[in-house]
C-alpha cells in the first residue's frame, strides 16, 4: 500500500507533467485548436465530466459530456460564465440551477468557473463541470485555480512575444524606409562618372545596385539565410570601394564553414562568389540588417584621413552559438566614446545604428544574445555579435 507521501509525490509529478504539456501547447497562443487540446488534456486528470475554455463570447474548446453539442465557436450558454466574465470572480457552483444551463444538461450538477485575466482585463474562462456537488474537493479547486493561473500566465507571455515580434518588424520597416539618401546619391554619382571612364564597370555596379536595393526592400522576413546577409553587406561595400577607391577601402571575408570544415578568405573583388560557398543547407538564419549597418558605420566613422581602411567580416561557429564580427583597423575610439555609443538611449550617428542592432539582436535571441565593442584610438574597433542557439 502506497504511503501518503508517495501518493502526493506521484500526484505532484503528474501535475507538473500536465503543466509542461500545457506550456508546450501554448507556444503560439490560445487558439481554438490549442484550447481543445488543453480541455482534452485536463479532463482525464480531474474528477470533472466535462472541461471547457471560452473567450468572452464563445466556446474555444470543450471536452467530455455533450461535447458534440458544444463546438468551438458556439456562443456561451451559461449565466455563471457570463457573470464570471463580468465580475472576474472565481465561482464554485453546487447546483445545476446556479450554473444556468438550458434544459438537456441534467447530468451536470456542479461547476468551477475560473476567470482568465491578463492584467486587468478578463479574456475568458476555464470551466470544470461535475456530476455531483461532492465531487468538488479542495484538490479539484486547487487544480482549477492552478491551471487557470497557468493559462493566464501563458496568455500574457504569448502576447508579450507577439508585441516583441511586432516591435522588431516595425524596427525593420524603419530601417528599410531610412535608406541613407547620401549613400544613394553618392552611388549614383559614382556610377555616372564610371559611365564615361569605365563603362563595363558602370554596368556591373548598376546591376549590383539594383539587386542591392531590391533585396533591401524585400527583406521583411524575421530571418534570412546568413549567406544572403553577407552578400548584401559585400554589395554595399563594393559601392563604397567604387566611390573611394581600392587604395582607401578593402573588405576581407573570413568565413568559417560550419564545424569540421575549413575556413576561407577573400577580398571584396571575389566576396560575392566566395560567400556563395557558405552552405545554405546548414540552415543558419539571422535577422536582416545586422552586419551592413555596422560596416557602414566603419566606413563613415573609422576611415583615417590618409591610407587604407580594412574591414574584416568574420563568421565563427561555437555550437550552438554563431559569432559574427566586424573588425576594422581605423581611427578607433576612446573608452569614453565607446561607452557613449553603447548607451541604450543613444539616438544619433554611430550610436543609433549600434542601438538598433543590439535591440533587435536581443529581441530575436533573448537576453543571452550580446554585442561587445573593443576599441582603441589609432588601432581600430572590433564589434562581436553572439547569436545563441543559432547553429
Which tens digits make up the pLDDT trace of 203-217? 888 888 878 777 766
Q: Give CATH for domain 4-162.
A: 3.30.450.40
User: Does domain 178-387 fall into CATH 3.30.565.10?
Assistant: yes
Query: What mean pLDDT is predicted for residues 25-51?
Result: 89
Domain definitions of the chain by residue range: 4-162, 178-387
Of the candidates 327, 295, 297, 298, the residue with the CA atom closest to the CA atom of residue 314: 327
Domain 4-162 and domain 178-387, same fold? Reply is: no
What is the spatial distance between Cα 239 and Cα 210, in angstroms, rounded to a whole number? 12
Query: What mean pLDDT is predicted for residues 306-312?
Result: 94
Q: So what's the pLDDT on residue 208?
A: 84
What are the E-state strand segments in the chain? 50-54, 59-64, 91-93, 110-118, 121-130, 224-225, 249-256, 263-267, 285-286, 309-318, 321-328, 370-376, 380-387
Q: For residue 134, name the pLDDT band (cuts at 50, 70, 90).
A: very high
Model pTM score: 0.52
Q: Residue 366: is its pLDDT beyond 60?
A: yes
CA distances from 254 to 54, 200, 278, 312, 324 (A): 55, 29, 11, 7, 10
- Asked if 212 and 257 count as a contact pair (C-beta separation under 8 A), the reply is no
What is the spatial distance between Cα 102 and Cα 155, in angstroms, rounded to a whole number? 30
Q: So what's the pLDDT on residue 278?
A: 45
Which tens digits make up the pLDDT trace of 140-175? 998 898 888 888 888 877 765 655 554 555 555 555
- Cα angle 17-63-66, degrees, rounded to a multiple of 5: 155
DSSP state string for 178-224: ---HHHHHHHHHHHHHHHHH-HHHHHHHHHHHHHHHHHHHH--SS-E
Which tens digits make up the pLDDT trace of 242-254? 999 999 999 999 9
Q: Residue 350: is its pLDDT beyond 80?
A: no
Amino acid at each position: 500500500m502506497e504511503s501518503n507521501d508517495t501518493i502526493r509525490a506521484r500526484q505532484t509529478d503528474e501535475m507538473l507533467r500536465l503543466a509542461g504539456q500545457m506550456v508546450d501547447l501554448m507556444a503560439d497562443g490560445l487558439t481554438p485548436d490549442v484550447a481543445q487540446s488543453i480541455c482534452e488534456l485536463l479532463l482525464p486528470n480531474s474528477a470533472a465530466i466535462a472541461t471547457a475554455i471560452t473567450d468572452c463570447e464563445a466556446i474555444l474548446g470543450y471536452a467530455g459530456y455533450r461535447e458534440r453539442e458544444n463546438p468551438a465557436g458556439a456562443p456561451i450558454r451559461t449565466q455563471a460564465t457570463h457573470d464570471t466574465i463580468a465580475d472576474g470572480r472565481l465561482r464554485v457552483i453546487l447546483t445545476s440551477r446556479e450554473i444556468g444551463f438550458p434544459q438537456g444538461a441534467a447530468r451536470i450538477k456542479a461547476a468551477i468557473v475560473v476567470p482568465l485575466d491578463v492584467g486587468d482585463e478578463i479574456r475568458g474562462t476555464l470551466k470544470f463541470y461535475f456530476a455531483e456537488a461532492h465531487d468538488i474537493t479542495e484538490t479539484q479547486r486547487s487544480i482549477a485555480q492552478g491551471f487557470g493561473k497557468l493559462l493566464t500566465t501563458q496568455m500574457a507571455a504569448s502576447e508579450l512575444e507577439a508585441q516583441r515580434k511586432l516591435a522588431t518588424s516595425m524596427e525593420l520597416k524603419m530601417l528599410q524606409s531610412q535608406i541613407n539618401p547620401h549613400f544613394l546619391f553618392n552611388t549614383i554619382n559614382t556610377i555616372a562618372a564610371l559611365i564615361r571612364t569605365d563603362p563595363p564597370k558602370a554596368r556591373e555596379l548598376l546591376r549590383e545596385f539594383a539587386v542591392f536595393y531590391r533585396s533591401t526592400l524585400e527583406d521583411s522576413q524575421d530571418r534570412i539565410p546568413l549567406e544572403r546577409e553577407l552578400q548584401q553587406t559585400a554589395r554595399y561595400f563594393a559601392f563604397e570601394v567604387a566611390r573611394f577607391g581600392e587604395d582607401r577601402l578593402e573588405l576581407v571575408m573570413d568565413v568559417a564553414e560550419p564545424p569540421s570544415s575549413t575556413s576561407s578568405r577573400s577580398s571584396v573583388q571575389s566576396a560575392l562568389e566566395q560567400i556563395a560557398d557558405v552552405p545554405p543547407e546548414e540552415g543558419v538564419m539571422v535577422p536582416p540588417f545586422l552586419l551592413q549597418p555596422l560596416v557602414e558605420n566603419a566606413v563613415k566613422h573609422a576611415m583615417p584621413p590618409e591610407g587604407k581602411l580594412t574591414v574584416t567580416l568574420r563568421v565563427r561557429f561555437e555550437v550552438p552559438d554563431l559569432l559574427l564580427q566586424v573588425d576594422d583597423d581605423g581611427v578607433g575610439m576612446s573608452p569614453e566614446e565607446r561607452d557613449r555609443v553603447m548607451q541604450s538611449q543613444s539616438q544619433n550617428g554611430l550610436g543609433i545604428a549600434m542601438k538598433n542592432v543590439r535591440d533587435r539582436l536581443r529581441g530575436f535571441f533573448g537576453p543571452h544574445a550580446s554585442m561587445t565593442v573593443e576599441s582603441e584610438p589609432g588601432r581600430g574597433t572590433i564589434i562581436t555579435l553572439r547569436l545563441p542557439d543559432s547553429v
